[in-house]
């Protein structure tokens, strides 16, 4: 771990909505306390139940937020990719972590301690409002996932998750609709609230039915109408299948 203070770090923080409205002096103060960490895959940042209050910003790589049942089963709550932050709940209330954070691949991140950040947020209400906005967006995502878990089966939930990801990140190719996300990344299971083996089984079945194809570049949706049917969507009437999205991942992870 190394403490860093340079223009690139300040720019990385400024791109975060949480820090974007801070004046230069306050941003420099936050940057001066940040610690850059370079981690290998499967590094545990914190465990569910830990009393640890740092905020983390992912610079490169991916971090998985997950919970585990007593029998060892894992449910992925979210994947934080480049530019995303996580750990804001424990930072605000000093309570125990509600999920485990593990790196998925080689990852660089910034770690900011509560003692350094809270005085800055308290002195700048606009930044604190951004925290509230972030929490509200994640609460909406959590409520949507809870509704789908209660009212829909695994097949429908996976179809809806794939369709949301296609709307946000898909782009049209000659052969179909390209979703540049691999099942192995954990993003799909996180958005569906399903275990990995369930996602793998359903997607193998959809491959056999030629609804989609899993490739090195991501998932290629071959039959969007049938995916819509599985998701319970109304038939499309000539609307575009998806609009390209500038981000690699949507920051709509459930609350941690």
Q: CATH top-level class for 2-149?
A: mainly beta
Most confidently predicted of 29-33, 183-187, 222-226? 222-226
pLDDT-based confidence at 254, cuts 50/70/90?
very low
Compare 202 and 69 and report the one with higher pLDDT: 202
Is the pLDDT assigned to residue 2 strictly greater than 90? no
Distance CA 161, CA 167 (A): 10
Over residues 85-101, mean pLDDT = 90
Over residues 215-235, mean pLDDT = 88
Q: Which CATH architecture has domain 153-231?
A: Orthogonal Bundle (1.10)
Angle at 225 between CA 223 and CA 227, to 5 degrees: 75
Closest CA to 191 of 230, 157, 151: 157
The H or E element containing residue 9 is helix 7-14
Quick one: pLDDT at residue 17? 76
Is the pLDDT assigned to residue 224 strictly greater than 50? yes
Distance CA 66, CA 225 (A): 32
Quick one: pLDDT at residue 49? 93
- The three state secondary structure string of 137-173 is HHHHHHHHHHHHHHHCCHHHHHHHHHHHHHHHHCEEC
Long-range Cβ pairs for the range 221-224 (8 Å, 24+) = 221/162, 221/166, 221/170, 221/176, 221/177, 221/178, 221/179, 222/175, 222/176, 223/176, 224/166, 224/176, 224/177
Least confident of 41-45, 70-74, 114-118, 226-230: 70-74
At 153-192, the pLDDT tens digits run 899 999 998 998 888 788 898 889 999 887 777 778 877 8
Tokens 């089966």, residue located: 153
pLDDT-based confidence at 226, cuts 50/70/90?
very high
Compare 135 and 5 and report the one with higher pLDDT: 135
For 109-136, give the DSSP string.
EEEE-HHHHHHHHHH-HHHHHHHHHHHH
Q: Against a cut of 0.75, is the pTM above it?
A: no
Distance CA 114, CA 111 (A): 10
Closest CA to 98 of 106, 107, 89: 89
Is the pLDDT assigned to residue 222 strictly greater than 60? yes
- Which residue ranges make up each domain of the chain? 2-149, 153-231
Distance CA 36, CA 10 (A): 12
Is the pLDDT assigned to residue 58 strictly greater than 50? yes
131-143 burial, b if ≥16 CB within 10 A, otherwise e? beebeeebeebbe
Q: For residue 41, what are its two tokens?
A: 């895959």
Task: State the average pLDDT for the chain.
Answer: 82
At 112-132, the pLDDT tens digits run 999 988 888 888 887 878 878
Is the pLDDT assigned to residue 240 strictly greater than 70? no
Tokens 């770090």, residue located: 9
């Amino acid at each position: 771990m190394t403490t860093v203070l340079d223009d690139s770090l300040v720019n990385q923080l400024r791109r975060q909505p949480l820090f974007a409205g801070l004046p230069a002096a306050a941003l420099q103060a936050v940057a001066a306390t940040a610690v850059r960490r370079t981690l290998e895959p499967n590094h545990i940042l914190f465990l569910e139940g830990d009393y640890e209050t740092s905020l983390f910003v992912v610079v490169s790589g991916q971090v998985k937020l997950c919970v585990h049942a007593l029998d060892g089963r894992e449910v992925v709550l979210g994947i934080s990719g480049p530019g995303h932050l996580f750990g804001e709940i424990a930072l605000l209330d000093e309570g125990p972590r509600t999920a485990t954070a593990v790196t998925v691949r080689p990852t660089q991140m910034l770690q900011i301690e509560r003692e350094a950040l809270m005085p800055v947020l308290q002195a700048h209400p606009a930044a604190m409002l951004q925290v509230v906005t972030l929490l509200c967006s994640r609460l909406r995502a959590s409520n949507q996932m809870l509704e789908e878990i209660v009212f829909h089966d695994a097949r429908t939930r996976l179809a809806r998750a794939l369709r949301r990801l296609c709307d946000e990140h898909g782009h049209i190719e000659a052969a179909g609709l390209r979703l540049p996300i691999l099942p192995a990344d954990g993003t799909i299971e996180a958005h569906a609230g399903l275990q990995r083996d369930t996602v793998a089984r359903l997607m193998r079945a959809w491959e056999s039915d030629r609804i989609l194809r899993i490739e090195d570049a991501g998932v290629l949706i071959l039959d969007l109408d049938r995916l819509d049917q599985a998701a319970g969507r109304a038939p499309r009437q000539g609307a575009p299948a998806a609009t390209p999205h500038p981000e690699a991942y949507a920051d709509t992870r459930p609350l941690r």
